[in-house]
Every structure is written in C-alpha cells, then in structure tokens.
Chains A and B, each alone.
Chain A
C-alpha cells in the first residue's frame, strides 16, 4: 500500500513492522478452514462476484492513479452482472438476517480486503492491480462468476453465506456451463 502510512516514531514504526510481519505470517499460514459455501450455486456465485467487486474497489481506492479508471471500466463492462450479484446477496439477507446482516457482510468484506492490502504492504498495488487485466480479459460477462470463483476471496474473515444460517454446502456445480446457458 502506498499512501496510508501514518507518521510515527522509530520505536512505534519498529513495533508496527513487527506486527505487520506477524500478521502477514499468520495470514499466509491460516489453516484451510472449511469454506463457507452457499446453499445454491447462484447464491455462491453472487457472493463471490460481490467479493471480487470489493477487492477491485479496494485496489482502486488504495492504489489510485490509473486503477480508478480501470475500476470504472470494470463496472461499466460488467454492470448488469454486478447488479444481479448485488441483488442476489441482498435477496439472501432479506431471507436471513435482514438489512443489518447485509450491511455487516459488506463491511466485513471491505475490512477483510483492506486488511489484506495492509498486510501485503508495498507489494499490494503491484501484485493486485493485475486483477484488472485479468478481469478485463474475460470473454464476456458470463465468465465473471467462474473467474471470481478462482480468487478465494471469501475464505478469510468473511462469514458470507454461513452467517445467515445456510447449513448445506453448495453442490459442486459446473459454474461456467450454467452461466453460459443463461
């Protein structure tokens, strides 16, 4: 991350660096918890797309410059799919937990992505800005869900579907095949 380092004394900076290293190590070695999977493939896809959008938003707001334009281009290109995913998540929380749970999820998601940005430090922008190239290289909106599913964005610090009481895992779905049939 480039622009968010507060001014502190040397001791405080050393402590901060040590804490950052520890946090990075813990992040890197987080055990493979059972992924919170939604009850249906459509719900799972909606959550993953929402997480991808948040990740790209954090890249844009953290790294700024051309990344803000790239984020806008991403939103323009995939707007119908993004709107649909957002509606899917809202619909899920309308049935489980209500608007407060929805707000909690969005906040938690943004915090999780921001925490990763902080933990990666100066590597974050150069490493994650490449996501824009990847997402814009997709052949079309139908690939956005299957692409988002490869980014493992819901695994750390995000409760997603599981928080709402979904207990049955999503069936292993052939995501792209389903998407293309639409």
Chain B
C-alpha cells in the first residue's frame, strides 16, 4: 500500500489493521512526531504476521526522498517489548519504535542511494524475526523536505 505523507494517521491505522489510539491512555499513545517524515512512496504488505522463533521475509519499496518507510507489527494487539537489529542494512538506517498499539520498523535509505538493501530485526518476546528486503527507488528530496501541513496548536 502506498503510505502518503499528510495522511499519516489514517494510513497507519490501515497499515496496522487496528486503531491508533491518539492521545488515549493505556500506554499506547501515538505521538505526532512519530507520524511525520514518511516517504511519499512506501509500499509494504498491509498486514505482516510474525511467528515466534522463525524469520518472516517482507518486501518493502521506498522512494528515496529522505523519509522513512515503516512496517507495523503487533503482538496480541500491542507492541513488542523490544527490537534487536540482527543484520544492519548496507545503505540505510533502521529505527524500531512503538507507535500506538504497534511496533513500527522504519527504514531510511541513505541519501542518493537506489537499488536493493536488506536488514533483519528480531522482536521480543518471542524471538520473531523479520527480514526486510528493500527496493529503493529514486525520489525527490524536496518532496520530503517540505513540511507537511500540520494543525497548529490553538493559541489565544
């Protein structure tokens, strides 16, 4: 699915298959900062199911405009406790973070890179591993550099 910048929250809900609890209690808040900066082109499977103790391969296609492309995974409707980078990507960076009720595994391609890359993340508990095979396409850096129209906080 294409994750379009500016439609971050809605896209995240669709991506995770569950509601993102923006501002709600229960320890699963979604923060504005975690929804910003997504790549314009980010194609990942709509649902990724991981199995304990085994490795699941996932394909990702991202346009290299400076933004991240993320895969959301969850465990019993909540995020994993932690993630471990078992194999680094050669041409980018990985950021694993809790976003709402899911764990999101983000990949940022190095500036100017195009081609293929891969990395492996293990998620605990359960030692569920995910190998992400990334295809990086050219993208316009200017597109990601422009701030998204954000709702400014109310001011008196």
What residues make up the interface of A, taking CB atoms closer than 8 Å to B?
14, 17, 21-22, 24-35, 119-120, 123, 126-127, 130, 133-135, 137-139, 143, 146-147, 149-152, 155, 169-170, 172-177
Cβ-based interface call for B47 (8 A): no
Are B82 and A137 in touch, CB under 8 angstroms?
yes
Instruction: Report which of A21, A29, A176 forms a contact with B152, defined as CB distance below 8 A.
Output: A21
Are B124 and A137 in touch, CB under 8 angstroms?
yes
CB nearest neighbor in A for B123: A150
Instruction: Report which of B65, B90, B112, B125 forms a contact with A172, defined as CB distance below 8 A.
Output: B90
With both chains docked as a complex, state the minimum distance between the C-beta of A60 and any C-beta of chain B, in angstroms: 19
Instruction: Report which of B81, B95, B109 forms a contact with A151, defined as CB distance below 8 A.
Output: B95
CB nearest neighbor in B for A177: B86
Are A174 and B86 in touch, CB under 8 angstroms?
yes
The answer to whether A34 and B145 touch (CB under 8 A), given A149-B88, A170-B88, A174-B86, is no
In B56-70, the 8 Å CB interface with A consists of 64-68
Q: In the complex the two chains form, what is the Cα distance from A28 to B31 in whole Å? A: 12
With both chains docked as a complex, state the minimum distance between the C-beta of A132 and any C-beta of chain B, in angstroms: 11
Instruction: Report which of B27, B37, B83 forms a contact with A29, defined as CB distance below 8 A.
Output: B37
With both chains docked as a complex, state the minimum distance between the C-beta of B14 and any C-beta of chain A, in angstroms: 21
Are B36 and A29 in touch, CB under 8 angstroms?
yes
In this complex, the member of B66, B88, B93, B152 whose beta carbon has the largest number of chain A beta carbons within 10 angstroms is B88
Instruction: Report which of A22, A137, A152 forms a contact with B108, defined as CB distance below 8 A.
Output: A152
Cβ-based interface call for B141 (8 A): yes
The answer to whether A31 and B86 touch (CB under 8 A), given A123-B32, A150-B96, A152-B94, is no
